[in-house]
Amino acid sequence: DVKVTQSSRYLVKRTGEKVFLECVQDMDHENMFWYRQDPGLGLRLIYFSYDVKMKEKGDIPEGYSVSREKKERFSLILESASTNQTSMYLCASSLSTSGNTIYFGEGSWLTVV
Amino acid sequence: QQQVKQSPQSLIVQKGGISIINCAYENTAFDYFPWYQQFPGKGPALLIAIRPDVSEKKEGRFTISFNKSAKQFSLHIMDSQPGDSATYFCAASWSILTGGGNKLTFGTGTQLKVEL
Tens-place pLDDT, residues B21-43: 999 999 888 888 999 999 999 99
3-state SS class at A85: helix
Element (H, E) at B90: strand B86-92
* Any A CB within 8 A of B106 CB: yes
Taking the CB of residue B99, how many other CB atoms lie within 10 A of it?
Answer: 9
Average model confidence (pLDDT) across chain B: 92
Spatial CA neighbour of A12 closest among A106, A108, A104 = A108
Percentage of residues in chain A having pLDDT higher than 70: 96
Measured between CB atoms, which of B6, B45, B103 is closest to A45? Answer: B103
- Residue B93 pairs in a beta bridge with B32
Separation of alpha carbons B8 and B6, rounded Å = 6
pLDDT of residue B72: 97
- Determine whether the interchain pair B107/A42 forms a contact, defined as Cβ–Cβ distance below 8 Å: yes
Looking at CA atoms only, how far is residue A92 from chain B in angstroms?
9
Mean predicted confidence (pLDDT) in A22-49: 94
Separation of alpha carbons B68 and B40, rounded Å = 32
Element (H, E) at B99: none
Separation of alpha carbons A1 and A75, rounded Å = 22
pLDDT of residue B98: 53
Cβ-Cβ pairs closer than 8 A, A with B, add up to: 78
Mean predicted confidence (pLDDT) in B45-64: 95
Per-residue confidence at B83, pLDDT binned at 50, 70, 90?
very high
Looking at per-residue pLDDT, the higher value among B42 and A2 belongs to B42
Looking at CA atoms only, how far is residue B38 from chain A in angstroms?
10
Residue A91 · residue A6 · CB < 8 Å: yes
Ranges of beta strands (E only) in chain A are 4-6, 10-13, 19-25, 31-38, 42-51, 54-57, 65-70, 73-78, 87-94, 103-104, 108-112
pLDDT of residue A95: 85
pLDDT of residue A47: 96
pLDDT at residue A45 greater than cutoff 80: yes
Per-residue confidence at B97, pLDDT binned at 50, 70, 90?
low
Distances (CA, A) of A76 to A108, B6, B10, B44, B100: 11, 28, 31, 19, 22
pLDDT of residue B17: 98
pLDDT of residue B56: 96
- By CB atoms closer than 10 A (0-12, 13-18, 19+), residue A12 is exposed
Mean predicted confidence (pLDDT) in A28-33: 92
pLDDT at residue A13 greater than cutoff 90: yes
